[in-house]
Each structure stands twice: as C-alpha cells, then as structure tokens.
Amino acid sequence: MPPVRIVTDSTADLPEDLYQKYSISRVPLKVLIGTEIYRDGIDITTEQFYNRLQQGEMAGTSQPSPGEFAQVFESLTADGSQVICLTLSSQFSGTYQSARLAAGMVKGTVEVIDTKSATRGVGLMAMAASRAAAEGKTLDEIKALVHGLIPKMKVLFLVDSLHYLERGGRIGKAQAFLGSLLNIKPLLCVKDGIVYPYEKIRGKNKGLERIIQIAEQDTGGAEIVCAVVDGNDPEARETLYQKAKERLNCREIWQGDIGPVIGSHVGPGVSGIIYYRA
C-alpha cells in the first residue's frame, strides 16, 4: 500500500514546527503590497505584514499557479506516494482550481479537496489527515476522514472592521452588517465556505465572551479540537485561549496567527476560534 502525503496551501496558517512535525507540504499563496510580491509565510512575517497594514498600506493576494502545485505534487509522487491536497474554500480563492488543474498535470495519484474553510480550519484538517496517514490509513480512508470533518468545522471570528472583507470581495453574506455604528464589532462565521453574519456586538470584550458562549452552547460539553487565532491582537487571543481552556472540553487546543493572505481580507485586530467535535 503506497504511503499518502498531505499537501495544503499556506492559508492553513500552521507554524513551521507543525508543518515539520506532521510532514505537511505547503504551497504558498502570494501577498501583494504596492509593487512588492511576497510568498505567504516565507518572505514576510506576520508582524511585518500587520504593521504595514496599520501604517495604511493596502494588500492584495494571488493564488498559486497550477505549475507551482504540480512541482510539489511531482516531487511527492516520484517514489510512488499518493497525495491528498487540502485547499482553502473555493469561495474565497481560485487556489482549489489551480490545484485541480495541477493534479491533472502529473502522473501520480493526487486528490484535491476543497475544505470550505480557511486559516486553522484548513490547518486542523491537514493535521488530522497527516495523523491518519502516519497510522497507515489508505487514500480513501483519509479522504473520508476529511470529508467528514468539513461539515463539523466551526469558524467564529470577530473583526474590527468589515472594510477589508468588502474591499477584497470576500464579504459574502456579511454585507448585511455594513454601515454599522461606531464600536459595533461584527461577529462572523464561515458556513459552506462563505462568510456569514452572526451577530453585531458592542465592544471587543463582549464579543470575545460571546464567541465562547456560542461554542459552549454548540458543543454542549462534547470533546473538541480547537484553535484560537488572531491578527496582531495577542491580548484578545490570550483572553479567548484562557476562556476556551476553562469552559470548553478541549482535547487539543492550539493558538496562532492569522497569516498575511487571510489577514489581507479580515484586517488587523481580528480574533476567533475554530473547532470541531472530536
């Protein structure tokens, strides 16, 4: 039985040590600031990126080319290994389509899955798939695992402003929240790969508490795997992390940054929780 290798795009927002620990290969998207082009997670740090946003610079993003995916697929399948590639939601980017085209360019077996998620939603699925691969699970078994996780993955996040989502065209159904009053923090969720409005909340602290309340009600004490994330707001992330540890039944709890590509579309000050029932 040939081994299965896991590939994801850089919006999985995993730190370098987890890519290495779980033997996950990544294909970077690109961040465009002015005339400069950076490979996500490689050429620019998260701190540098958010500092530039807060200085008033605007950022754009672009997907990997099919050729960039194909290069990674070819290197991994050269020894007969099979590949499962997990991408961020096809509603957010053409990355999934690039990976699909690349899969048809190589001789080996490559399966591409649209996770209908983003940031650590993709990352948690990639980690679960990698564990299954390390246990010797087959390609079909790992595909079934991932497809089972897709509808279970919950993403709740609080943004300081809808400006970045609107400007980048990723606002989805959350456009209903445009024109909100000062200090109203939009609480958003991702459902079927699309950003949806959840609630309007006055003030960040109330918003962070509401995120945990929603997760408590949704999980009902069930065991979960979760990640707490932020975009240059470590204080909010620490608040969410402590609340999640105390009030949710976390089998695993991770924390980390929302990287430059996703950060381009949600802006600085974003914070949230991503989880699924274990």
pLDDT tens-digit map of 142-178: 999 999 999 999 999 998 776 655 554 444 444 444 4
Residue 8 sits in the same domain as residue 100: yes
Q: Is residue 35 part of a domain?
A: no
Counted domains in the chain: 2
What CATH number did the domain enclosing 122 receive? Answer: 3.40.50.10170
Residue 102 sits in the same domain as residue 224: no
Residue 122 sits in the same domain as residue 189: no
Residue 244 sits in the same domain as residue 196: yes
The structure's pTM equals 0.92
To the nearest whole percent, how much of the chain has pLDDT over 90? 77
Largest CA distance in the chain: 59
Q: Is residue 41 part of a domain?
A: no
- State the pLDDT at residue 176: 45
Mean pLDDT of the residues in the chain: 91
pLDDT tens-digit map of 70-109: 999 999 999 999 999 999 999 999 999 999 999 999 999 9
- State the pLDDT at residue 201: 87
Residue 145 sits in the same domain as residue 265: no
Residue 171 sits in the same domain as residue 118: no
- State the pLDDT at residue 164: 58
Look at residue 154 and give its three-state secondary structure: strand
What CATH number did the domain enclosing 201 receive? Answer: 3.30.1180.10
Residue 134 sits in the same domain as residue 173: no
Residue 225 sits in the same domain as residue 104: no
Q: Is the pLDDT of residue 181 over 60?
A: no
- Strand order through the sheet with 154-158: 194-202, 184-191, 154-158, 271-277, 224-230, 250-257
Tokens of 119: 């940031």
The alpha carbon of residue 168 and the mean position of all alpha carbons in its chain are separated, in whole angstroms, by 17
Give me the domain span that covers residue 140.
4-29+64-150
Q: Cα(227)–Cα(214) distance, rounded to whole angstroms? A: 15
Q: Is residue 197 part of a domain?
A: yes
H helices present in 22-135, as ranges: 46-54, 66-77, 95-103, 120-134
To the nearest whole percent, how much of the chain has pLDDT over 70? 92
Residue 155: phi, psi to the nearest 5?
A: -130, 120
